Amino acid sequence: MRLVLANAEEQVSRDAVTYSAWGSPLTREGYLQRENRLRTHAWSRAELKMWLLCEAPGEVLASCETYRTDSFLRAPDGTLSAGDSYAIASVFTEERLRGRGYATKLMDLLAAELERASPRVHSAILFSDVGAPLYQRSGYRETPAWDWRFSPEPGEPSALVDRLLQDTDVGATLARMRRPDAPFFYWPTAEQVDWHIERERIYAELMPRPRPEANGAIAGDSTALWYMMGRTGTLMVLMLDARTAEQAAALLGTARRVAHRAGLSKVVLWEEPATAPLVAKVTGGTRELRDGSLPMIRPLRPGLPSPELTPIPRALWV
């Protein structure tokens, strides 16, 4: 068995196979349109690769995608060392081929490939919907995964904050956000965040449904970015940089009002260590163990800090 980098034709061919896993509620045609648009997005064009596990030419046993993302290792004196990490997505084995260890073999060969991909490589990260054991066999370790859920509420969104943010504000918004005070962390680019918002645009067109009136907000020194998960009717907070409990409440209250006006069913925030104490003081939230999207990290170099210490905002998900 060997690892093969898919060409453009093979990528499209694989889309037709993976529709059964990730296509609903879109039609097959809609799913193929979605995959094409995501693949031609600026972030994907720069950072996406599809990998195939093959035994013979044209015989695909399993597949996955990788997206290069920026990561930072903090030295004891606080200085940051920039590096390359790789987010792994869409790990798939056809049902007729499951139970033979192909996904594990794919993960093992891919890790070896990624270790050679960059002289400043840090890690691989994935988000498991099948629990931890499958990926633990390939050296991945899970991080804590809790959600804060809020119900939508009526009201004027702009009344609670200084400014509502649009998709054109992502770059400037990221620049004002504080980077985590953690020994190791990932930090998305503006294109990476916009890739999520592109999903919002796609589902708004294909389902169809109205887009939310804002993709984030500013309250004092605090900032939030979010997008609509059209497939599930969720307003998902991508990043939250909250400096006080009051500002956290204002930002999440605005998200709830935006969700209500867009006809969405809930607001979801992935818990992070830095903001968890502030979010816990916001009334109306429920903290729940996350069902799916379990973050798991595999070091690709010695000396990487424990995955449990790494903050994982939703903007990192692929």
Mean pLDDT of 133-151: 96
How far apart CA 77 and CA 80 sit, in angstroms, is 9
Q: Could you tell me if 215 and 236 lie in one domain?
A: yes
Which domain covers residue 157, as residue numbers? Answer: 146-289
Structure tokens at 112: 């070896």
Q: Could you tell me if 206 and 301 lie in one domain?
A: no
- Alpha carbon separation from 1 to 41, 54, 93, 102, 112 (Å, rounded): 31, 6, 14, 9, 14
Q: Is 170 helix (H, G, I), strand (E, B) or coil?
A: helix
Q: Could you tell me if 172 and 264 lie in one domain?
A: yes
CATH number at residue 66: 3.40.630.30
Give 5-37 as a DSSP string: E--HHHHHHHHHHHHHHH-TTS-HHHHHHHHHH
Per-residue pLDDT of 243-292, as tens digits, reads: 999 999 999 999 999 999 999 999 999 999 999 999 999 999 999 999 99
Q: Could you tell me if 311 and 241 lie in one domain?
A: no
How far apart CA 130 and CA 137 sit, in angstroms, is 13
Strand partners, 5: 51
pLDDT of residue 208: 92
**Residue spans of alpha helices (H) in the chain:** 8-22, 28-39, 42-47, 102-115, 133-136, 170-176, 190-206, 245-261, 276-279
Contact by Cβ (8 Å): 151, 248: no
Number of domains, the chain: 2
How far apart CA 165 and CA 184 sit, in angstroms, is 28
Q: Could you tell me if 32 and 106 lie in one domain?
A: yes
Per-residue pLDDT of 94-121, as tens digits, reads: 999 999 999 999 999 999 999 999 999 9
Q: Is 63 helix (H, G, I), strand (E, B) or coil?
A: strand
Q: Could you tell me if 131 and 110 lie in one domain?
A: yes
Q: Could you tell me if 261 and 299 lie in one domain?
A: no
How far apart CA 243 and CA 62 sit, in angstroms, is 44
Q: Could you tell me if 64 and 140 lie in one domain?
A: yes
Q: Could you tell me if 150 and 239 lie in one domain?
A: yes
Q: Residue 158: what are its φ and ψ, rounded to 5°? A: -70, -10
Q: Could you tell me if 150 and 272 lie in one domain?
A: yes
Give 127's pLDDT tier (boundaries 50, 70, 90): very high
Cβ contacts of 6 within 8 Å, gap of 6 or more: 14, 49, 50, 51, 52, 63
pLDDT of residue 267: 98
Q: Could you tell me if 11 and 29 lie in one domain?
A: yes
Mean pLDDT of the chain: 97
Q: Could you tell me if 117 and 30 lie in one domain?
A: yes
How many residues belong to the chain? 318
